[in-house]
């Protein structure tokens, strides 16, 4: 039985990474990486959360699968001192295109990254620090910061 036949809509997602700190009324930030995907398969772990949390979990699981398939996550973009990453749900019935479901504010200090996650209808979450390896790009660090979702 397909997911849509049971009334569960498949999740589409898009991640956009920008160089710099997001300020609501500030100048637009330069886009440095964009990746998108779909979560068409049944999740291997039960998901009892709202749609925004399921979408973010789909991003984590999909990026992890892509990382295991190759050495680097593409598109590759180096990690700068301050970055903003948006997770959007671009194509979904009843949800406007490009609906932001989460924002990750990422800061780098030498070979350490830390950040905070802001999701719709949730309080801000301060994430555990992670080590940045020399070959890491922003998507690798994003995945490592969000790994708490699948522990």
pLDDT tens for the chain, 151 residues: list them.
Answer: 444 444 555 678 889 999 999 987 778 899 999 988 887 654 555 555 677 778 888 888 888 877 777 766 676 889 999 999 999 988 655 455 578 889 999 999 999 999 999 988 889 999 999 999 998 999 999 989 988 766 6
Provide the token pair at 136: 């890491």
């Amino acid at each position: 039985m397909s997911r849509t036949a049971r009334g569960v809509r498949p999740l589409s997602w898009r991640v956009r990474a920008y160089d710099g700190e997001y300020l609501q009324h500030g100048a637009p930030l330069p886009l440095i990486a964009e990746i998108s995907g779909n979560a068409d398969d049944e999740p291997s772990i039960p998901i009892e959360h709202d749609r925004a949390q399921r979408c973010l979990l789909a991003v984590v699981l999909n990026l992890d699968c892509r990382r295991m398939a190759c050495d680097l996550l593409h598109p590759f973009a180096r990690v700068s001192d301050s970055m903003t990453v948006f997770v959007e749900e671009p194509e979904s019935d009843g949800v406007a295109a490009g609906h932001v479901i989460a924002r990750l504010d990422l800061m780098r200090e030498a070979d350490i990254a830390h950040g905070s996650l802001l999701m719709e209808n949730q309080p801000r979450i301060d994430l555990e620090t992670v080590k940045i390896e020399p070959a890491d790009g922003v998507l690798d660090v994003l995945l490592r910061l969000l790994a708490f979702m699948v522990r």
